[in-house]
Structure 1
Amino acid sequence: MTDMKRLSWHEVAPAGAKALFGVHHYAMSGTDLPHELIHLVFLRVSQINGCAHCIDLHSRDLLRTMPIEKVWLIPVWREVPYFFSDQYRAALAWAEEVTNVSETHASDAEYAAAAAAFGPKDLVDLTIVIAAMNAFNRLGAPFRLPVAAKP
């Protein structure tokens, strides 16, 4: 990786940023999903996509409500099922499935598991949450948004 300065996408395309932040606003205040679950999904999607800025941001968000032991085990959540509720595990599985849709094709098995854990509106909202974070990651990672953490 180089130290080349990248564009500030939200300054270069403020109308696009406003539209994307509108989806984020809907995710945070227009759904009935718990904020902790939303931040959990935001973090897992960002880990998969390798967006340092978003990993830093959403780890900090989760640490306000979740013990650090749970946060650092999110990448291996399947190995510690007793750390996460059935609904949180379904959300994490669906987040991985949707984020990797080019490989998974949103399998029937994972869709059925997500649909069993969430009502129709919540499942659509969860998928919007996942899609929004994937969009942010596809801007944050290529434009190398800085992290708040300092070495």
Structure 2
Amino acid sequence: MSKRLDYNQIAPAGAKALGGVYGYVLQSGLPPVLVELVYLRISQINNCAYCLDMHTRDLLKKGQQIEKIALVQAWREAGNLFDARERAALAWAETVTRVAETGVPDEAYEAAYAEFNERELTDLTIAIGLMNAYNRMAISFRNTPQAALEK
């Protein structure tokens, strides 16, 4: 599959705006590994090869074990490998990413709110929205995963 266009070059102001949101999330105070786990899960749901590759690499650089990374898509069955906040964040990421199907039910909100304060939950939701936007850009314009470039 070949890249369709380079949106960073075509719309640099738009790319910079997304980058500004990314920077906001980085400084939000949410744990970086938690955010990367959420980004990876969203990218799994959306089948974004480019982002799957990138977030897997980022989690490895952050010292996460391959076993944990491999089980992100099955986090519910992974026992205590994921802590309570990670499980809440992954569940919230799933329901928000699948908003058209889930409607983000009250039970999902209450479960997330039990682990995150209002600011954290707002910032987490911003991060989820951002990754969904990035996934849609990468998939639509066929960004090539780094792993495919290394072959």
Deviation at 1:43, TM superposition (A): 0.6
Given the two structures, how large is their TM-score scaled by the length of structure 2? 0.95
Deviation at 1:6, TM superposition (A): 0.4
127, 146, 149: which is aligned to 1:148? 146
- Secondary structure of the corresponding residue to residue 109 of structure 2: helix
Indicate how the Cα distance of structure 1 residues 77 and 11 shifts in structure 2: closer, same or farther if over 3 A, else same.
same
Identical pairs, percent: 51
The number of residue pairs the alignment matches comes to 148
Provide the C-alpha distance between the structure 1 equivalents of 2:43 and 2:60, rounded to a whole number of angstroms: 16
- Secondary structure of the corresponding residue to residue 126 of structure 1: helix
Match for residue 62 of structure 1? 59
Given the two structures, how large is their TM-score scaled by the length of structure 1? 0.95
Deviation at 1:42, TM superposition (A): 0.6
Deviation at 1:108, TM superposition (A): 0.6
Match for residue 91 of structure 1? 89
1:76 corresponds to which letter in structure 2? A
2:5 corresponds to which letter in structure 1? L
Task: Choose 83-92 or 4-13, whichever is displaced more.
Answer: 4-13
Match for residue 76 of structure 2? 78
- Structure 1 residue 7 corresponds to structure 2 residue 2: no
- Secondary structure of the corresponding residue to residue 128 of structure 2: helix
16, 19, 31: which is aligned to 2:17? 19
- Secondary structure of the corresponding residue to residue 66 of structure 1: coil
Provide the C-alpha distance between the structure 2 equivalents of 1:20 and 1:32, rounded to a whole number of angstroms: 19
Match for residue 116 of structure 1? 114
Match for residue 40 of structure 2? 43
CA contact (8 A) 1:81 1:89 kept: no
2:29 corresponds to which letter in structure 1? D
RMSD: 1.0
Provide the C-alpha distance between the structure 1 equivalents of 2:30 and 2:101, rounded to a whole number of angstroms: 27
After the TM superposition, which parts of structure 1 deviate over 3 Å for at least 4 consecutive aligned residues?
none
CA contact (8 A) 2:3 2:143 kept: no
Provide the C-alpha distance between the structure 2 equivalents of 1:98 and 1:81, rounded to a whole number of angstroms: 23
Deviation at 1:9, TM superposition (A): 1.1
1:55 corresponds to which letter in structure 2? L
Deviations 1:96-145 (A, max 9, x none): 00000000001111100000000110000000010000010010011111
Provide the C-alpha distance between the structure 2 equivalents of 1:5 and 1:40, rounded to a whole number of angstroms: 26
1:128 corresponds to which letter in structure 2? I
